[in-house]
C-alpha cells in the first residue's frame, strides 16, 4: 500500500468492528438524540465513535485520491491493471474492511440514502437514473468526488454539480455506507 499507514488501517478495522457490533444491538433507526435519551450509549462513547468515523472517512478519501491517474479499464479492480468505477469503489472500501459487491448497480443499494446537502466524505454517489445506475464514485468533500472515468480514461476528481452531457450521466443519488444510522438525518436518492 502506498501513502497509507498501518495505524490508519488498525483504526479503520476497529471502527468497522465497532460499527458491526453496534448494528447488532442497536434499534433499526438509532439517531444521536435517541441514543443519548435512551441511555443506549454514553455521551463520551458516542463522541469517540464519531471521531473514529471521521478517521475512517479520512482513510477512504486518502485511499481514493491515491488512485488518481490510474487507468480506466472496463472490469478493472487494481491500481496496476486499472479500474472501472465500481472496481475503484470496491478496492477503496475493501482496504478499510468493508466488502462491497462488484457492480455499480449492486453498490448503489448499499447503506442508506442520504440527501445531497448532507453528503460526507466517503459517501457513494450514484449516476444514471434510480432504476439503472451506470456509474458510481466516492465523495471526498467540497462538492467533489473521485471516480474512474471512461471518458477521461483514468481515475479523476470531478465536481458533483457538473453538467450532464452525452457521455456524462446525471447524479441519481447518494448512499451512506459507514454509519447507516446517521444517514437517517434525511432521506433521498
**Residue 40: pLDDT over 60:** no
DSSP letter assigned to residue 180: H
User: Residue 44, SS3?
Assistant: helix
- The model's pLDDT over 68-121, given as tens digits with 9 standing for 90+, comes to 999 999 999 999 999 999 999 999 999 999 999 999 999 999 999 999 999 999
More confident residue, 38 or 17: 38
Query: Which residues form the catalytic set?
Result: 85, 135, 147
**Cell 482496504 -> residue:** 95
What's the pLDDT score for residue 46?
A: 60
Q: Which three cell numbers stand for residue 11?
A: 483504526
- HEC per residue, 106-143: HHCCCCEECCHHHCCCCCEEEEEECCEEEEEEEEEECC
Contacts with 182 (C-beta within 8 Å, 6 or more apart), sequence order: 31, 32, 176
Say how far apart CA 175 and CA 137 lie, in whole Å: 10
- Is the Cα torsion angle 143, 53, 24, 37 positive or negative in sign? negative
Amino acid at each position: 500500500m502506498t501513502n497509507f499507514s498501518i495505524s490508519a488501517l488498525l483504526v479503520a478495522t476497529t471502527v468497522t468492528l465497532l460499527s458491526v457490533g453496534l448494528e447488532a444491538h442497536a434499534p433499526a433507526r438509532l439517531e444521536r438524540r435517541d441514543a443519548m435519551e435512551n441511555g443506549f450509549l454514553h455521551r463520551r462513547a458516542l463522541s469517540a465513535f464519531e471521531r473514529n468515523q471521521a478517521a475512517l472517512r479520512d482513510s477512504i478519501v486518502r485511499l481514493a485520491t491515491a488512485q488518481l491517474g490510474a487507468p480506466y479499464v472496463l472490469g478493472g479492480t487494481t491500481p496496476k491493471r486499472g479500474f472501472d468505477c465500481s472496481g475503484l469503489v470496491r478496492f477503496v472500501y475493501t482496504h478499510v474492511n468493508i466488502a462491497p459487491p462488484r457492480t455499480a448497480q449492486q453498490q448503489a443499494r448499499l447503506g442508506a440514502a442520504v440527501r445531497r446537502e448532507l453528503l460526507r466524505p466517503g459517501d457513494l454517489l450514484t449516476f444514471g437514473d434510480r432504476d439503472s445506475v451506470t456509474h458510481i464514485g466516492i465523495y471526498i468533500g467540497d462538492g467533489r468526488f473521485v471516480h474512474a472515468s471512461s471518458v477521461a480514461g483514468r481515475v479523476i476528481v470531478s465536481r458533483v454539480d457538473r453538467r450532464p452531457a452525452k457521455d456524462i450521466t446525471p447524479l441519481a443519488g447518494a448512499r451512506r455506507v459507514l454509519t447507516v444510522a446517521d444517514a437517517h438525518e434525511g432521506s433521498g436518492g
